[in-house]
Chains A and B, each alone.
Chain A
Amino acid sequence: MLDGCQHRGPDSTGFALYGAGDAETYRLRFYVGTGPLAEKSVQRIGDVLAREGAQLLSGERVGGSYAASVRHKGPVQKFAYAMEHAAKLFSLGHRLEIVKDEGTAHEVDERYHLGKVEGSHGLGHVRLATESAVKPEAAHPFWATGFSDIAIVHNGQITNYWKWRRRLEKLGFEFRTDNDSELIAVYLAKKLSGGASLRQALSDSIEDMDGTFSFLVSTETEIGYAKDRLAAKPMVMVETDDLVAIASEEVSLNRLFPGQALSTREPLPGTIGTWSRSI
C-alpha cells in the first residue's frame, strides 16, 4: 500500500504492526543505528533494563533497530520513560512494534524483513522530509510515548500544538519530539488510560485539536480514524466483510485488490470511526 503513494513521501517509511504477542512480555523497538555507537546503545539498554528490574528474554539487531523481548512488572509509564531515556525507543507494547527508517517502502521492508510478520492490524506512513535531515526518529508512525501498544500516523498540522503540549507536560507526560503526531498519540493515550473508549477519545480530539488533520490510531485491539472539520487532508477507505483499509489515496487501496473496481468512501469532515478485532 505504501509504495503506491510514495510520491507523497519519498524520504522515509514506517510501519506499526501488531503481531501475536503475549500479555506477559513487552516488545521494545529501539533505534540504535548501525555504526560503532550501536553496540554501546545496546549495552546501555541492557544496563537500564537491569536497573529497572526487567528481565531481558531476547534481543536482536535488525537493520538499524534493536528489538528486545522483556518481562517487566510494575507501572508501564515509568518503565517506558526510563527505557526511552536509555536510547531512542520507537515503540513499546505487548503486540506493537514500530519499524521506521530512511528509504522507500521496499527498502525498509527489505532491511527489516517485514514480509514475514503476521498480525491483525497495522499502520504505515511515507514521509516527505522538508527539514534538513532525514532522520529515522522523525519518521512516522509515532508511538504514544509512555503508553503500551498505541501508535499513530497523521497528515496535517495541529495549530494549538503548544497549548496542548504544555498542558500534558504539566500532567507529567513526556515528549521525545516536537512533532504534532506524537502529541495526538499521547493525548489519545491519556484519554484511553483514563478509561475512555477509543470512540470517545477520538471524538474529543476533534473538539480539542485545532488545525488540519487526518489521522489513524491503533491500539492492541482497535484501529480508528479522525478527520478535521474542513476535510483539508485526504482520506479514502474501503470496507469488506474481512477487512477495512484506509489510505490517503485510492492507489494504495488498489494494491489490496489488484484489477478490481473498488467501492471507496471518503470519510466525512469532523467524523471518526473505529474498528476492533481480536486475534
Chain B
Amino acid sequence: MVTLDLAHLSVREANRRLRELGAAGDDVEILNPDAKHHIGVGLVHPITVKVRGSAGYFCAGLTHGARFEIDSNVGWGVGDNIYDGTVIVGGNAGAVAGVAIRGAEVIIKGNMGSRAGQVMKAGTLLCCGNASFMAGTMMYGGRIVILGRSGERLGEDMTGGEIFVAGGIDSLGTDAVETDISKTETDSILEFLERHKIPFQGHFSKVVNAGAKLRYTTPEPTLRNQPTTVAMAGGFWNAKTQEDIEVKAVTGRYRVRGYGTSRAIPHFNDIAFRRDILPDEGAVSKVNLAMELGSRSGAKPLSLSMPVLIAPMSYGALSRSTKLALGIASRLSRIAENTGEGGMIQEERDEAGQLIFQCLSGRLGWNVRDMQKADAIEIYISQGAKPGLGGQLMASKVTPELASIRGIPPGIDLRSPSRHPDVLGADDLVIKIEEFREATGYAKPISVKLGAGRVKDDIKIAFKDGFDFVELDGLQGSTGAASAEVIEHVGIPTLAAIVEAIDALREVGARKNEMPIVLMGGIKDGVDAAKAIALGAGAVAVGTAALIAGGCISCMRCQAGYCVTGIATQNPEHEKRFRTDVEAHNIHRFLESMRWQLAAIVHGLGKTDVHQLCRDDLVALTPEAAAITGLPYEARS
C-alpha cells in the first residue's frame, strides 16, 4: 500500500500519482483528505484506494473498476458516473450521491443528501441511513436501496430501475408508484448486504415508475406535412400554420418537431460587406484560414484548417450512417466534429480526425473511457432551439441498440433533465469543470455549449469559470426534437447573440479570441461565416447546412423517426437510403465551398488572415440589423 498525503500534495498531483500507481497495480492510502474535491477522479485501474477522513465533491467520480473506501463523509456527487467499481462511504454523503452511475456499487453507511441516484443507469446505490428528498429522481435504471427512511418525492419522474426502502417513505414523486417486491429481488438485496457485511432485519417497500408520463398518448397524425420552405413563405395563415392547428386539434398538446425557426428574423442576410470584393480563384492559397481552438487553459488545442466546425448533433437524433458521414467530411476538410448528446460511437471516433465529446444533463452515453478518447470535452448547458429544455428523443428512435449506449430503457419517449444534476450555479460549474480536467489529465480543451438567452451573463460566467472556448447558438439554431413554441419563441437571434457576447467579453477585459466564440444558428455558407467572424466570432459551426448538403429535405420532421433520407432515423430500412460515402463527400464539398468563400472574402478585402476581418468591414442593410449590431445603416465611408 502506497501512501499519498494531501497535506503535502495537491489533489491534481495526487490524482496523477494515483493513475500511475493504478497502472502499476498498487493500492493507495490517502491521508489528510480534508474534504477536498475530486479525490480519485479519472482512475481506470482496479486498485483499492482508502481515504482516511472526509472527501469533498465527486470523490471517485468518472472512474472505472477501482474500489474506494472513505472513512468519513463525502460531499456532492460521490461516485459520479462510475462505470464499474465499488465505493464505500463510512459516514454521510452530500447531495446527488451516485449520480449517473453506470454499473457501480455505491454504499453509504450513514445518511445521504438530496436527489441521490439522479439519472443513474445501472448498479446499486445503498444508503444504510436515511435518504433526503427526491432520491432516484429521473433515474433510468439500476436500483437504490434505503435501509432507513426516505424523504419526500421519492422516485420523482424516474423512468426505469427500482427503489427499495425499509424504513418508510415520506412521499412518492410524480409518476412513481409502490408495487410488490418479489422473492428474487429480496434475496438479491440480502445477498448484496451480506456480501458487504451489513447487518439488516426488516422488510422492503418497492417503488417503480408508474408509466403515466413515459409516452405521449395520442401520436401526431401526419397530415399534409409542410416543409420549412412553406413555413418561411411569409404571412401567418400559411399552410404550415394550418397543419399545426390541424395536428393540435387531434393531439390536444404542443407539437414536437425538428429543425430551426421557420420565420423571418434579422440575420446575416441583413448585413453586408462595405467594399467591393473581387473574387480570386486562387484566394485559398493566398490567405490564412487555419487556427487553433482551445488553448486558453494550456490544454492541447484543436487544429482547424478553417474557422468552421460541425455542430454537435447526437447519434440518436441522427442515424449512425449520418454521424459517420459527418465524421468523414470533417476529417477530409480538416476541421472538428462533435458527438452531441447520447455518447460516442467507435466508428465515429475512428472516422473523425478531431472529435469533441459532449456531456449533457442526462449523462446519456457519457463515460470516462470515451472522455479519454476525445479531443475536447464540452459541457452542454443549452442550445438555441430550446433554451431551458433537456434533450428529447421520441420512442420510435429509441431502439435497443441506442438505448444500450445511452443506458436507458428502450422504447420510451426519452426526455432528459432540463439542468445538470450537479451544476446549479457558476460556483458548482467551476467544480464540475475541474472534475473533467482531472479525468482527462488537464490535456483536453473544455468548452461550453450555450443557447442564446441571457448571453452577457452567461458569457461572463463562462469566461470566469475558465472555459477554453464557447459554442454559442442563436435562436435560429436547429434541433432534432423540441416543442415548436420553444423553437420559435425562446431566445435571441444569432446576430444579437454574437454582439452581446463580444460586449460581455470586452466588459470583463478579455483579449480578442482569448476565449473564442464558436457561433452557430442559421449559418448557411462561408459568407455568413465571414460576417460572423467580422463581428467577433472566433469560428462558426454548421448543423442544418451540413445535413442539407448530406441530403436533408427540410421537412421539419426529424423527431418522427421515419426520415425518408435516412438522416434522422434509426430505422434500418430508411437508413439504407443514406449512402454514407457519397454523402460524406457531398458534405465535404460543401465545407470546401465555405472555405473558398471565406478565402475570397478575406483576400478581396485586402487581408491575409481570416481573423483580420472586423466590424469596419460591415454595414447593416436594415434598420433592425443596424439596431441589433450597432453597424452603420448606410455605407457612406
Contact = CB atoms under 8 A, between A and B. Distances in A.
Contacts of A236: 75, 94
B36 A130 contact: no
**What interface size band does chain A fall in?**
20 to 34
A198 B426 CA distance: 30
B461 A234 contact: no
Contacts of B428: 234
Contact of B75 (A9, A231, A250): A250
Nearest to B90: A261
Given A251-B36, A268-B133, A262 B73 contact: yes
10 contacts: A8-B427, A131-B507, A212-B424, A231-B134, A233-B424, A233-B425, A236-B94, A259-B53, A261-B91, A266-B95
A156 B111 CA distance: 24
Interface in A226-277: 231-234, 236, 248-251, 253-254, 259, 261-266, 268-269
Most B CB contacts (10 A, CB to CB) among A4, A156, A251, A265 go to A251
Given A156-B425, A266-B113, A269-B133, A128 B430 contact: yes
A132 B507 contact: yes
A231 B113 CA distance: 9
Contact of B54 (A9, A155, A262): A262
A32 B509 CA distance: 25
Contacts of B425: 155-157, 212, 232-233
B110 to A, nearest CB: 8
B72 A7 contact: no
A264 B460 contact: no
Interface in B44-90: 53-54, 56-57, 71-73, 75-76
Interface residues of B, number: 40
B151 interface: yes
Interface in B85-115: 91-92, 94-95, 111, 113-115
Contacts of B57: 249
Contact of A249 (B75, B151, B509): B75
Interface string A1-25: 0001001110000000000000000
B508 to A, nearest CB: 5
A250 B59 CA distance: 13
Interface in A146-168: 155-157
A129 interface: yes
B424 A263 contact: no
A132 B427 contact: no
4 nearest CB pairs, A to B:
A251-B35, A231-B114, A250-B35, A266-B113
Contacts of B262: none
A249 B35 contact: yes
Interface of B: 34-37, 53-54, 56-57, 71-73, 75-76, 91-92, 94-95, 111, 113-115, 132-134, 151-152, 424-428, 430-431, 457, 460-461, 464, 507-509
A251 B464 contact: no
Interface of A: 4, 7-9, 128-132, 155-157, 212, 231-234, 236, 248-251, 253-254, 259, 261-266, 268-269
B457 A231 contact: no
A262 B72 contact: yes
B113 A249 contact: no
A148 B76 CA distance: 37
Contacts of A268: 132-133, 151
A164 B111 CA distance: 36
B460 A131 contact: yes
B387 to A, nearest CB: 15
Contacts of A248: 427
A261 B72 contact: yes
B424 A266 contact: no
A90 B91 CA distance: 40
Dominant SS among interface residues on chain B: loop
Contacts of A254: 34-35, 54
A261 B426 CA distance: 30
B422 to A, nearest CB: 10
B77 to A, nearest CB: 11
Given A212-B424, A261-B71, A234 B94 contact: yes
A254 B36 CA distance: 10
Most B CB contacts (10 A, CB to CB) among A132, A232, A269 go to A269
Nearest to B94: A266
B132 to A, nearest CB: 6
A184 B242 CA distance: 48
B501 to A, nearest CB: 14
Given A231-B134, A251-B36, A261-B91, 17 more contacts: A128-B427, A128-B464, A130-B460, A131-B508, A132-B508, A212-B424, A231-B95, A234-B75, A234-B95, A249-B57, A249-B75, A250-B94, A263-B91, A265-B92, A266-B95, A269-B132, A269-B133
Contacts of A156: 425
A232 B115 CA distance: 10
A275 to B, nearest CB: 21
A268 B71 CA distance: 24
Most B CB contacts (10 A, CB to CB) among A129, A231, A262 go to A231
A266 B507 contact: no
A127 B152 CA distance: 32
B457 A234 contact: no
Contact of A232 (B71, B424, B460): B424
Contacts of B132: 231, 266, 268-269
Contacts of A263: 91-92
A249 B34 CA distance: 11
Contacts of A128: 426-427, 430, 464
B585 to A, nearest CB: 45
Contacts of B461: 130
A12 to B, nearest CB: 13
Nearest to B506: A132
Contacts of A250: 35, 54, 56, 73, 75, 94
A231 B132 CA distance: 10
A7 B94 contact: no
Contacts of B115: 231
Contacts of B509: 132
Given A249-B56, A251-B34, A251-B56, A234 B76 contact: yes
Contacts of B56: 249-251
A204 to B, nearest CB: 21
Nearest to B462: A130
A21 to B, nearest CB: 33
Most A CB contacts (10 A, CB to CB) among B56, B57, B76 go to B56
A155 B425 CA distance: 9
A264 B464 contact: no
Contacts of B114: 231, 266, 269
A66 to B, nearest CB: 30
B427 A129 contact: no
B35 to A, nearest CB: 4
Nearest to A253: B35
B546 to A, nearest CB: 33
Contacts of B35: 4, 249-251, 253-254
B303 to A, nearest CB: 31
Contacts of B92: 263-266
A130 B457 contact: yes
A249 B58 CA distance: 12
A180 to B, nearest CB: 13
Contacts of A233: 424-425
A184 to B, nearest CB: 16
Contacts of A261: 53-54, 71-73, 91
A231 B53 CA distance: 25
A132 to B, nearest CB: 4
A128 B57 CA distance: 18
